[in-house]
């Protein structure tokens, strides 16, 4: 199964940026109809995205998602229809607060998939959690439909909702971020996707923030500029040393098992079942990332 580390936004009203985004090394492109598009260009942007998705070379593009407008907006239903007809891999649902909304979209998509002759359940859902209520309901949101593949976090809207400001250290985000990690795994889905880093000229700040998210348990990051791809890929791709250590652990444990030992010592550290499990996760991730990278131009 492929794994996705970078989720690059491209504004739906900028065909040139969308075209450029799909030619980068990003794992995923998110065409945006929501906050990157001004209110008076919403219908036009949907049309531009629809045309872009019809272009022949689009099949060569990375995994494609559409961020629709929020479910309470007048644009929502037509946005979802445009995504389904454009054959996107998934839909990002901004300001996801209630599991009932996810269930409604699930049904709407099932009807569209039948009409279009797709396999029912094909289009995935990525709720973007960016409010106090969304964080509070995150477990139910993650469980609301089998289409929900990953949760994602929107720190800019979230800090506005809890009436604070984004800081360098990000301590104001810790509760929400950890909640999303915990809700994801409790619901049996993959780790969530971290928020964008708006200061896109600041590589050091991006690295610090990405490493922090990775330590908390996120498994990728949304980005707004192609120059952010490399930093995020480096953080979310296991390094050579980590991979060597994982191989050593798995091999040593296999040998120990054959000799009837359950817990052993390797380089001064105890190795037992959960340690081996974690090492195996690293090796599986490396394989999955190879698959992701092999499909790129």
Ligand X SMILES: CC(=O)SCCNC(=O)CCNC(=O)[C@H](O)C(C)(C)COP(=O)(O)OP(=O)(O)OC[C@H]1O[C@@H](n2cnc3c(N)ncnc32)[C@H](O)[C@@H]1OP(=O)(O)O
Ligand Y SMILES: O=C([O-])CC(=O)C(=O)O
Residues of this chain that bind ligand X (CB under 6 A): 8-11, 17, 20-21, 32, 35-36, 156, 196, 224-226
Footprint on residues 1-60 left by ligand Y (CB under 6 A): 35
Total number of residues binding Mg ion (CB under 5 A)? Answer: 3
Torsion angle (degrees, nearest 10) of CA 6, 11, 17, 22: 40
* Cα gap 131→118, rounded to integer Å: 33
* Composition of the chain by helix, strand, coil, percent to 5: 55, 15, 35
Q: Do residues 77 and 89 lie in contact, with contact meaning Cβ atoms separated by under 8 Å? A: no
Give the nearer residue to ligand Y in terms of CB position, either 105 or 246. 105
Q: Which does 195 bind (CB under 5 to 8 A by kind): Mg ion, ligand Y, ligand X, none?
A: ligand Y
Does 67 show up as a binding residue in the annotation? yes
- Where does this chain touch ligand Y (CB under 6 A) — which range of 16-24, 58-66, 139-147, 155-163? 155-163
Using CB under 5 A as the binding rule, the residues of this chain from 116 to 135 that contact Mg ion are 130
**Relative orientation angle of helices 240-258 and 273-294, to the nearest 10 degrees:** 130
- The yes or no reply on residue 128 touching ligand Y (CB under 6 A) is yes
Residues 189-248 interacting with ligand Y (rule: CB under 6 A)? 195-196, 222
Nearest residue relative to ligand Y (C-beta): 154
The answer to whether 28 and 47 have CB atoms below 8 angstroms apart is no
SS (H, E, C) 172-225: HHHHHHHHHHHHHHHCCCCCCEECCCCCCCCHHHHHHHHHHHHHHCCCCEEECC
Binding window for Mg ion (CB under 5 A); candidates: 147-155, 183-191, 193-201, 234-242: 147-155
Question: 130 labelled as ligand-binding?
Answer: yes
Q: Please report, in range form, the residues annotated as the binding site for substrate.
A: 67, 130
């Amino acid at each position: 199964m492929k794994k996705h580390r970078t989720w690059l936004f491209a504004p739906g009203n900028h065909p040139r940026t969308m075209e450029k985004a799909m030619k980068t090394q990003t794992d995923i492109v998110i065409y945006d109809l929501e906050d990157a598009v001004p209110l008076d260009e919403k219908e036009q942007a949907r049309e531009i995205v629809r045309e872009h998705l019809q272009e022949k070379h689009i099949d060569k593009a990375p995994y494609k998602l559409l961020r629709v407008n929020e479910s309470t907006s007048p644009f929502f239903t037509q946005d979802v229809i445009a995504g389904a007809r454009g054959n996107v891999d998934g839909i990002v649902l901004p300001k996801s607060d209630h599991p009932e909304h996810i269930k409604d979209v699930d049904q709407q998509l099932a009807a569209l998939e039948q009409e279009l002759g797709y396999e029912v359940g094909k289009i995935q859902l990525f709720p973007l959690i960016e409010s106090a209520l969304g964080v509070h309901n995150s477990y139910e949101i993650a469980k609301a439909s089998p289409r929900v593949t990953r949760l994602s976090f929107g720190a800019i809207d979230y800090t506005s909702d809890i009436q604070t400001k984004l800081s360098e250290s990000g301590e104001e985000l810790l509760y929400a971020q950890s909640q999303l990690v915990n809700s994801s795994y409790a619901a049996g889905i993959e780790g969530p996707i971290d928020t964008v880093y708006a200061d896109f000229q600041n590589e050091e700040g991006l690295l610090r923030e990405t490493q922090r998210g990775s330590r908390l348990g996120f498994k990728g990051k949304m980005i707004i500029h192609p120059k952010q791809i490399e930093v995020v890929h480096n953080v979310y791709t296991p390094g050579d040393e980590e991979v060597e250590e994982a191989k050593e652990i798995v091999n040593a444990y296999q040998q120990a098992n054959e000799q009837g030992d359950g817990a052993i010592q390797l380089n001064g550290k105890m190795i037992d079942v959960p340690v081996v499990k974690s090492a195996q996760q690293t090796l599986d991730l490396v394989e999955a990332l190879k698959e992701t990278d092999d499909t790129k131009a």
